[in-house]
Amino acid sequence: MTQKKLEANKTIALVAHDHRKDDLIKWAAANKAALAQHHLMATGTTGRLIEEQLQLPVQKLLSGPLGGDQQIGALIAQGEIDVLIFFWDPMEAQPHDPDVKALLRVGIVWNIPMACDVATADFLISSPYMNGTYTAALTDYDEYKNRKL
């Protein structure tokens, strides 16, 4: 297994479906001081709302349905995102459901901490690892990449 060292200053991706944006904004406001210690990225509308409400800088990508979820997934695969907070709506089908599933899948593949609800996000943000270094184990995919088809 290979490893990836997460530094004390993390890059946190923030994503929320329309019916969960208020939940994410409330959570982010309650954790503003902690989030201010990190680099924040978000899909378009979510990023704009967080930036306006919290007065914190947020690197904004495209809106989720326009490719923002895929952009975040690509950044996870490149090792550019350390933590994913993704408040998705389990009660409503999304037009970009395949992108949502792919984003969650790539987060698992690259073993990044992920929260999809307030309780798990609270556990993550309050973890001593959030403001310290952490060495994450990564699966070695060389055998998979070099397989004969």
For residue range 40-62, what is the model confidence (pLDDT) as tens digits? 999 999 999 999 999 999 999 99
To which CATH superfamily is domain 10-131 assigned?
A: Methylglyoxal synthase-like domain (3.40.50.1380)
Q: What confidence category does residue 94 fall into, taking pLDDT thresholds of 50, 70 and 90?
A: low
Give the pLDDT confidence score for residue 136 in this predicted structure.
94
Residue 35: how many other CB atoms lie within 10 Å: 23
Q: How many residues does the chain have?
A: 149
**Would you call 109 helix, strand, or coil by DSSP?**
helix
C-alpha span between 68 and 45 (Å, rounded): 10
Q: What confidence category does residue 148 fall into, taking pLDDT thresholds of 50, 70 and 90?
A: confident
Which residues belong to the active site?
69
Q: How many helices (H) and strands (E) does the chain have?
A: 7, 7
Residue 98, class by beta-carbon neighbours within 10 Å (0-12 exposed, 13-18 middle, 19+ buried)? exposed
Q: What confidence category does residue 143 fall into, taking pLDDT thresholds of 50, 70 and 90?
A: confident
Identity at 46, one-letter amino acid code: T
